[in-house]
Amino acid sequence: MRFSASLLVLLSALAASAQNGTSGAIPSPTDTTTNTITAPGVSTPAPTPTPSASNMPTGGVTASAPSATASTGPIASNIPGLNSSVALNANQVATLQAGCQALQQIYQPLGGSNWIMNTGWTSTDMMSCCSWVGVGCTRVGVVNKLELPYNNLTGSIPDSISSLTSLLKIDFTGNKLSGALPTTLPQLASLKILTLDENQFTGPLPDALTQLVNLTDIHFRNNSFSGGIPTSWLQSSIITTIYLSNNQLSGSLPDFGNSTALVTLYLDGNKFNGSIPTTIGGAIELQTLNLRNNSLTGSIPDTIGNLGNLQSLSLGNNQLTGNIPTSLGNLHGLQTLELTNNQLTGNIPTELGNLANIQRLLLSYNSLYGPIPNVFANFQYVQMLQVNWNQLDSAFPSFSAPPRLAYCRVSQNVFQSCPPDNVLNDPNSFAFQCGLNCNTPPAGANATQSDAVGAKALVGGSYLTYVSALATVAVVALCQL
């Protein structure tokens, strides 16, 4: 009975405790806080919070708290070539080491032992390549530039260069590299600028370069590439700059069609033939077009006048025929117009007077006739003007020289008359500054027109040269006495 009474007292106490909401001595099964005995100087770890239903992952599996691992925490600092304050984590270190190893794989194939400068490239430290000569890296050690111009690189570019997938720029200008371009180049997905000028590369231009979705600049001047230029290059929505001067390229120029990105195009010094396609007028962003020193035929298309952003047009040393299009007068931003050494005929169009920004107007060695347009007097910025070796046959104009004219050629034409003496002797006149010589060439078997520097000679805007030419004529005349 005494035991039963005691049991009743205990049960009553527990009931009273539950009604008052106070904790009993029985711990909750979800309470993970423990009293931990710690050694002196060792801090007690913070309790791990109990996951609630709201942060339980799908499927009822408890999400584990992220832990600090070697992949996120810094493990290396004071990396050669990087800022001393930069510390790399494990992933970044692995990327840097892979970049250094990839660089060493191209060292020997490119004749590295004979480079003019190869500082660092023989290092065995695969975390030091950001300090190697010609190598550029991001702030965290990703190799993104390879610039080794004029450094005596030889051989062919190896396929392994594609391992440097973060490269933004390659510059191998002025070396002795040869062979075809590696087929793995399209794997350099980050590449923006590819410069291989002044080497000995051969083979066709790879159409696959347009797979490089970030590539904007192609510089392949002074090599021996052959075949045509891929249409995809000209119609790319990314490529803005193409330099292909002085190669062995041939065939017809491709359709310019949708060349809405192209800003600069150099195709001079090749073997292109056929006519300039009329679709060139669609390349509305073009600022520089150089097609000189080819074998182009036919007329200059009127559609070039649609290129409102054009600043330089060079079509010299071809076999172009017909008239100079009047539409060229629409190119108000044009600074250079070079049409020398073709077979152009007709008058010099007065519409060229609309070229308010022209600095170099070169029309020599054609079959142009008629007058020098008086509107040329309106040029405010022209520095070089050449119309020599044509059939210009009207009276030589009497207008004042453009204010910035420094070099002028008007000889070897058939002007019918000269300006009056007061114009000829006026240092500000166009005739004077072009060194127009209206004297009749001396007679005699040895006194040719060239001896007299032409009946309408030019001295390049230099009065001193003009006087020298007259002195030469006088000496020739004296020798005949």
User: Global pTM?
Assistant: 0.77
Q: Strand pairing partners for 392?
A: 370
Torsion angle, alpha carbons of 189, 195, 200, 204, to 10: 50
Q: What is the pLDDT of residue 73?
A: 64
3-state secondary structure of 408: strand
Q: What is the mean pLDDT of residues 66-94?
A: 75
The CATH T-level fold of domain 147-441 is 3.80.10
Contact 363, 336 (CB under 8 A): no
Fill in the DSSP letter of residue 238. Answer: S
d(CA 123, CA 133): 12
Q: What is the mean pLDDT of residues 22-27?
A: 36
In which order are the strands placed within the sheet that holds 154-155?
154-155, 176-179, 200-204, 224-227, 248-252, 271-274, 295-298, 319-322, 343-347, 367-370, 391-392
Fill in the DSSP letter of residue 417. Answer: B
- Token pair of 34 as six digits: 């423990």
What is the DSSP pairing of strand 241-243 with strand 360-362?
A: unpaired
> What's phi and psi for 421, nearest 5 deg?
-60, -35
E strands present in 343-400: 343-347, 360-362, 367-370, 384-386, 391-392
- Token pair of 56 as six digits: 């339980």
d(CA 281, CA 305): 7
Percent residues over pLDDT 70 in the chain: 76
Q: What is the pLDDT of residue 131?
A: 95
> What's phi and psi for 245, nearest 5 deg?
-60, 145
pLDDT (tens digit, 9 = 90+) per residue, 241-281?
999 999 999 999 999 988 889 999 999 999 999 999 999 99
Q: Strand pairing partners for 201?
A: 179
- Cα–Cα distances (Å) from 131 to 79, 163, 388, 429, in that order, read 9, 19, 56, 61
d(CA 17, CA 145): 75
3-state secondary structure of 142: coil
Compute the mean pLDDT over every residue in the chain, rounded to the nearest whole number.
Answer: 82
Is the pLDDT assigned to residue 384 strictly greater than 70? yes
Q: Strand pairing partners for 149?
A: none
Q: What is the pLDDT of residue 48?
A: 35
d(CA 346, CA 354): 19
Taken as a whole, the chain contains a residue count of 481
pLDDT band at 104 (very low <50, low <70, confident <90, very high): very high
**239 contact partners, CB below 8 Å, separation of at least 6:** 210, 215, 216, 217, 218, 233, 261, 262
Tell me the domain boundaries of the chain: 147-441
Contact 147, 197 (CB under 8 A): no
Is the pLDDT assigned to residue 138 strictly greater than 90? yes
d(CA 368, CA 225): 36
Helix segments in 274-417, DSSP class H: none
Dihedral sign (CA 236, 239, 240, 242): negative
Range of lowest pLDDT (14-23, 123-132, 206-215): 14-23
**37 contact partners, CB below 8 Å, separation of at least 6:** none
For residues 68 and 397, the model is more confident at 397
pLDDT (tens digit, 9 = 90+) per residue, 269-321?
999 999 999 999 999 999 999 999 999 999 999 999 999 999 999 999 999 99
